[in-house]
């Protein structure tokens, strides 16, 4: 599912800390982003509408219904489809060609490719 930055921020906290009450979320996010309580609640509601969060209990405990990996998968697939003609190969080629990888990182990538064979 498509999550905006603000929603990702909320999910981030849940992924890191586990299930939290809406009040706790508001407190943590206030410190991290300066959002006031109502803003946080609005974002949480949007996440609930998208199915990313489920609320239970009388304290409005929020539970992440989608994992970080799943969202990563979605965003990456979006990116590859949009910018690299849907070709994962093209995506990696572009990545490797740019000077943004150190030798260490290249070696690590090679390892991963080897292992997944």
Partner 1 sequence: MNILGISLSAGILIIIITGLRFLNIRKIPQSAYLLLWEIVVLRLLVPISIPVNMSLFEDLNGRINDSIKSIEKLDYSFFSMFHPTEYESITVASKEHPINTIQLLMIIWLIGILLILVINFLRFRNSHQVIREAIPMKEDDYISGRMERWTPKRKIRILTSDRILTPFTVGIIHPKILLPKNMDYSKQNEVNYVLVHELIHVIRQDNLWRILSFAAVLVHWFNPLAWLMYSSFHRDMEMACDEKVISLLGESKKTDYAMTLIQLAEKKSRLIPLYNSFSKNAVEERIVSIMKYKKITRVGVILSMIMVILAGTTFITYAKEKAEYNPRYDPAVNKELYIAEVRGKKVEARQYYPVNENGYTYGPNKYNIESDLIAVEQEEGIFGYCYADDLNGERPGSIEEAFAIMEKWKDGREVLIYESDGETIVGIFKISKAVTR
75 vs 111, beta carbon nearer partner 1: 75
Give least dist CB 3 to partner 1, A. Answer: 10
Q: Are 23 and 34 in contact, with CB atoms under 8 Å apart?
A: no
Which among 2-10, 49-57, 64-72, 77-85 is the span making contact with partner 1, rule CB under 8 A? 2-10
The residue assigned the tokens 């508001």 is 26
Tell me if 1 sits within 8 A of 50, measured CB to CB: yes
CB of 35 vs partner 1, minimal distance in Å: 7
Counting residues that bind partner 1 (by CB under 8 A) gives 11
The smaller minimum CB distance to partner 1, of residues 83 and 113, is found at: 83
Rounded to 5 degrees, φ, ψ at 93 are -60, -45
Show contacts with partner 1 in window 5-44 (CB under 8 A): 5-6, 9, 33-36, 39, 42-43
CA dihedral 44, 10, 95, 93 (to 10 degrees): -40
CA 99 to chain CA mean position, Å: 26
Residues numbered 61 to 100 that lie near partner 1 (CB under 8 A) are none
Q: How far apart are CA 24 and CA 76, in angstroms?
A: 30
User: Which residues contribute to the site for partner 1 (CB under 8 A)?
Assistant: 4-6, 9, 33-36, 39, 42-43
């Amino acid at each position: 599912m498509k999550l905006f930055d603000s929603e990702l921020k909320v999910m981030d906290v849940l992924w890191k800390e586990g299930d939290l009450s809406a009040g706790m979320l508001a407190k943590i996010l206030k410190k991290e982003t300066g959002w006031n309580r109502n803003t946080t609640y609005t974002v949480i509601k949007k996440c609930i509408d998208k199915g990313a969060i489920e609320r239970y209990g009388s304290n409005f405990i929020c539970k992440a219904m989608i994992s970080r990996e799943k969202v990563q998968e979605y965003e990456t697939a979006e990116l590859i489809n949009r910018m690299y003609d849907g070709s994962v190969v093209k995506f990696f080629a572009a990545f490797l060609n740019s000077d943004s990888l150190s030798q260490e990182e290249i070696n690590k990538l090679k390892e991963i490719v080897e292992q997944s064979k």
